[in-house]
Amino acid sequence: MSATHKDRKTAVPANRRGTWVRGAAGIAAGVVLVSATGALAGASIVQNIDGAAEAFPVPTAAVPAGEYSAVCPEPLRLLEGTVDGGDPDFSPVSETALNRVSAMTLSDLGGTVPGSAIAPLSGGDPLAVIAEQVPESERGEPQVSNEDGLTNRVAGVSAGQSVEGAAVMRAQALGEQRATAGAGFTYTATDGDLAGLAVAHCQVPSNDFWLVGAVTTVGAAAVLNLHNPSQSPATVNLDLYGSKGVIDAPGGRGILIAPGKSESIVVAGLAANEENVAVRVRSSGGRVSGFIQQSVLRGLTPGGVELIQPSAPSAASQVVPGIRIQAPDEMDAITAQEGYAGAAPSLQVAVPGGTDAVLDVRVFGPSGEVELPGGGVVTATAGAVTAIPLDSLPEGDYSAVISSDVLISASARVSRGSEPKEPLDLALVPSAVRLGDQHVSVLPTGAGSAFVFSAPSGRAEVRLTPVSADGTFGKELVFDVAGGTTVTVPAADLGKGTAAALIGASGDPAYGAQVATLDGDTPGISVAPIPAGSSGQQSVAVDIGF
């Protein structure tokens, strides 16, 4: 898409429009949490604890449906250095750089689209109003006339909204249900040191998440951008893990972020000259979002840009879908150059605990499992990030399943290029959560894309419903994903004019990602996992201490 692209806004029928205002349900949620905490504290303690290693589910409390909120990354900028205090100093972006946000909000069965908008994180007038708030008295009655239940549903869509800073997509709840919504950020540039493609789904804030796969060696720049969209101050602590072990970084403790504000931290200032860095972000007070802007420059040749997004929560098993491997003969010629070894595809596995992990790594392609050298059994050092090469894989789309005897976090790194001495682009592929129902995945602006799905075991059925830029639904596409395989669905199969997709899965566990590519003189690649579903009644973990 050219630089003359004009922003588009989808009109919502007049009888479904009112005045859009930002909602707040914090007080009601707080009352429920206080009551729930008291009840849980008085409950009986689970008996028969068999040693300290015994694990119990974290108690949760249901809260009233509140506003959907997701933070979109700030535009990518070139890191020039640091100023007093270690804050980053940025230079202007390239002349062709475009930073755009697209978003979608699903209506209820009666066709009412929740009040929703894209606005600057720092406040002020909305950049784009997706749908204005509709008073309860004016909402239509749900009327389902066929078996799919979507006949009367529409969506509010905003496509290609230009942004100059971090933005927030908000959607109000309808009744007792949180809005089904989602947004995505796209960066494209064909010139300058930051040439390439970076896409990311806008992130629902959290108090605890992992960013895996940053690089801080010579020529690589990694900047952690933290955002606080809440109405409460947030105090953030960072735990860092490198290739050789835990990184002592006092500067990553007690970072205070005011409501509506952001903080940028140069990762090399905390963990210098590291080939693989994992950052655990934990906040108290307000929930925060975080992305790492990763860029690589090899001499004068751009080596790629990416936005590192949160991986799935740490667990004993991680699934990384959407690993796109370039033809080995092409990539071998590129990685054979001096200083290009880091461009080879690999997995990064972080082991936060004090015990080494024994990993069983299995990789699934379109035709089934592809064996890795050594059978895929790897010992990963405790407190460190271990890289596992994937350069033995043939060209294609893959999903990796990493099983461990301790908790781990994981991602993959891939590159895309044309030939030696030419620019490359890179992608960091986070592990993904299991697919359920009503996931919103917004297509990137100005780039091609494809959906990649995998069912590591058993068999799953994946449903894709296209949503056009005018908010109407296309014909649902249904795909069977056999156990131990990976299926790729080009976005073009969803039909011309598709702006987003509503995704659901049933059967055995399935996982998915969206792979975006940019063709031309500057090849681009970026991968975003399918975000967690956003609808339904919400619950929060209750931390009980005494």
| Chain Cα centroid distance, residue 17 | 31
Q: How far apart are CA 98 and CA 360, in angstroms?
A: 41
The single-letter code of the amino acid at 395 is E
- Ranges assigned E (strand) in 25-91: 60-63, 68-72, 78-82, 88-91
Answer yes or no: is 27 within a domain: no
Q: How many helical (H) and strand (E) elements, i.e. helices and strands, does the chain have?
A: 2, 38
Bridge partner list, 204:
none
DSSP, res 332: H
Tell me which residue range forms the domain holding 483.
9-22+62-541
The single-letter code of the amino acid at 442 is V
Q: How far apart are CA 513 and CA 494, in angstroms?
A: 16
Answer yes or no: is 36 within a domain: no
Answer yes or no: is 321 within a domain: yes
Length of the chain equals 546
The DSSP secondary structure of 29-44, one letter per residue, reads HHHHHHHHHHHHHTSP
Helices (H), 400-478: none
Global pTM reads 0.85
Answer yes or no: is 448 within a domain: yes
Residue 157, SS3 per DSSP: strand
Q: How far apart are CA 426 and CA 419, in angstroms?
A: 14
What pLDDT was estimated at residue 8? Answer: 38
Answer yes or no: is 4 within a domain: no
With beta carbons less than 8 A apart as the criterion, state whether 91 and 84 touch: no
Provide block-wise average pLDDT over 10 residues at a time, the chain (546 residues).
39 39 41 39 37 49 77 89 54 81 91 93 94 71 52 87 96 85 96 93 97 96 97 97 96 96 96 97 97 94 96 97 96 95 97 96 97 94 97 97 98 96 96 95 96 95 96 95 97 95 97 94 92 64 51
What's the number of domains the chain is made of? Answer: 1
What pLDDT was estimated at residue 397? Answer: 98
Q: And the tokens for 514?
A: 């969206």
Residue 329, SS3 per DSSP: helix
Q: And the tokens for 273?
A: 């000259």
With beta carbons less than 8 A apart as the criterion, state whether 416 and 524 touch: yes
The single-letter code of the amino acid at 532 is A
What pLDDT was estimated at residue 92? Answer: 58
With beta carbons less than 8 A apart as the criterion, state whether 214 and 292 touch: yes
With beta carbons less than 8 A apart as the criterion, state whether 131 and 114 touch: yes
